[in-house]
A and B are shown apart, each in its own frame.
Chain A
Amino acid sequence: MSSRTFPIIALAIAMLFGCSPADETSEPEAVFIILGSTTSTRDSGLLADLTERFRARTGIEVRVIAAGTGRALEYGRRGDVDMLLVHHRPSEDAFVAEGYAPYRRDLMYNDFVIVGPPDDPAKIRGTSTATDALAAIAASESPFLSRGDDSGTHKKEHGLWAEAGIDPGPHSGTWYRETGSGMGATLNVAAEMAAYTLTDRGTWLASANHQDLEILLEGDPPLRNPYGLLPIDPERHPHVKFEAAETFIHWLLSDEGLDAIDAFKVRGEQLFFADRSDSGGAAAVSD
């Protein structure tokens, strides 16, 4: 360094750092795992609640990377995360079949809803199934926002269009609009454009920016949204913290974890429902 000015600036910045709290990276002995998950579980605050309880119980820190299901699965394939909590069953089953995870466990579910403007130009309030609602939106060419980001919600939406026998692809840019963004960002756009969109109920309830949007369709059985747990297989990626990940999975599937999921509320409403059908199976798998 040839000039004297820069060490001075460096010193000034170093002084600013002086008041910073403890440096997380200076604790190599602390055990942590990286969980690849979805924006819905993070933005609602559920994961912060669960990981804090788990840390208090075991001392293991869970670092959450919130991405769409597609991106989270890619992180898993690359071995950049230790486990996954995602929501697209066909992709999860493929992930196990490809040998990236030794097993998959049901953890919980919530549901998708279709939200839209209160004047409901496509008249979907009168329909009872998601496919009928989408058909009505397509027929009336009312603005519909797609995530367009390969997330679990986006994959779900594609499945529903396929069931309705409609290919919205050619209409992209007209009434069918792909935001390429997360659920929260897409809801913001929907609110501004008074458009329809498919959203998970958790992100919908947690969003502070509904403007005029309302839930127009809910309760159709295909709109159930199950979340699955997948530990990354150490045979594939020897560096993953498989044991710590399994400790977290066992805790989540224990009564303590499942009760915490059921007890979690945002604005007085329960967002996720523990799936107790799988809780007995996890312990056996680790043997």
Chain B
Amino acid sequence: MGWIGDALAAAFELIVGGDPELGEIVALSLRVSGTALLVSSVIGLPFGALLGIVRFPGRRGVVIVLNTLMGLPPVVVGLGVLLLLSRPGPLGHLGLLFTPEAMMIAQSILITPIVAALTRQTIEDAFDEYGEQLRSLGAGRLRSAATLLYEARFTLLTAVLAGFGRAIAEVGAVQIVGGNIAHVTRIMTTTIALDTNRGEFALAMGLGIILLLLALAIVGSAEILRGVANRAA
């Protein structure tokens, strides 16, 4: 069990030592996954809410496709975005490949279906319960969607956190479209993969522990926020 001690010691050293490179990769991880979270929320929440409320032919099929996309393999998303942003690709002229922006695009694509699908389920359930009431108040579809999004905000926080968790933890997509360039596109998960390849297992595991602590801090803060808002409401 020596490896646990080695990993904890490595994590402790990294944090206490104030390694500037660690600060850099942690900040970039948060910036990339945080941006992906914002993009996926802006798209996924309204889309999921409308899909939960509006009835149209083929809706079942859209729901099935959306639920399937929750399982998008990161490496496939990475490859797709690579082909999109590579010079001969449709967006190649933008020169975005191997930049943090490319990583944000890939992670946004990866987690938007998660946020949208979980939102769809939540809003659909809420609409089953309150739909009658909303209609009697004369609320249209957009108004209903907005109201239910607000009313279900605490449940939806879990949907958004699920998306963020997926983004901050994935390595397959960012490795391909970011290239793991030191000081430019190197984030926590790509560093862990690199250290593993170097045989520096304790260091890699130490970084893994830091990544988990970071996730804990974010989810914990969200939970506290939810508690405070709940009491205020």
Contact = CB atoms under 8 A, between A and B. Distances in A.
B34 A17 contact: yes
SS class, residues of chain B in contact with chain A: helix
Contact of A184 (B41, B153, B197): B197
B98 A34 contact: yes
A270 interface: no
Nearest to A62: B181
B23 A21 contact: yes
Nearest to A63: B181
Interface in B200-232: 200-201, 218, 221-222, 225-226, 229
Interface in A205-246: 206-210, 237, 239
B181 A64 contact: yes
Contacts of A78: 86-88
Given A2-B149, A78-B87, A207-B199, A12 B27 contact: no
Given A16-B30, A80-B86, A5 B156 contact: yes
Contacts of A19: 23, 27
Contacts of A65: 98, 179-181
Interface string B184-202: 1000000000101111110
Interface stretch (B42-50, B60-68, B70-78, B127-135): B42-50
Given A5-B157, A5-B229, A43 B182 contact: no
Q: How large is the interface on A (under 10, 10 to 19, 20 to 34, 35 or more residues)?
A: 35 or more
Nearest to B34: A13
Given A17-B34, A64-B181, A184-B199, A79 B87 contact: yes
A66 B180 contact: yes
Interface residues of B, number: 54
Given A2-B146, A9-B225, A21 B24 contact: yes
Contacts, number: 130
A2 B45 contact: yes
Contact of A25 (B93, B100, B179, B197): B100
B110 interface: no
Contacts of A207: 198-199
A24 to B, nearest CB: 6
A10 interface: yes
B28 interface: yes
Nearest to A45: B198
Contacts of B181: 63-65
* Of A1, A19, A181, A207, most B-chain CB atoms within 10 Å: A1
A185 B175 CA distance: 15
B5 interface: no
B139 interface: no
A48 interface: yes
B196 A9 contact: no
A80 B229 contact: no
13 contacts: A5-B229, A8-B229, A13-B37, A20-B27, A24-B183, A39-B197, A63-B98, A66-B180, A79-B88, A80-B97, A80-B98, A184-B198, A208-B200
Interface of A: 1-6, 8-10, 12-14, 16-17, 19-21, 24-25, 34, 39, 43, 48, 63-66, 78-80, 181-185, 187-188, 191, 206-210, 237, 239
Interface of B: 20, 23-24, 27-28, 30-31, 34, 37-38, 41-42, 45-46, 49, 86-88, 92-93, 95, 97-101, 145-146, 149-150, 153-154, 156-157, 160, 179-184, 194, 196-201, 218, 221-222, 225-226, 229
**Interchain residue pairs A-B with the least CB separation, the first 8:** A209-B199, A20-B27, A184-B197, A79-B87, A2-B149, A65-B179, A13-B34, A208-B199
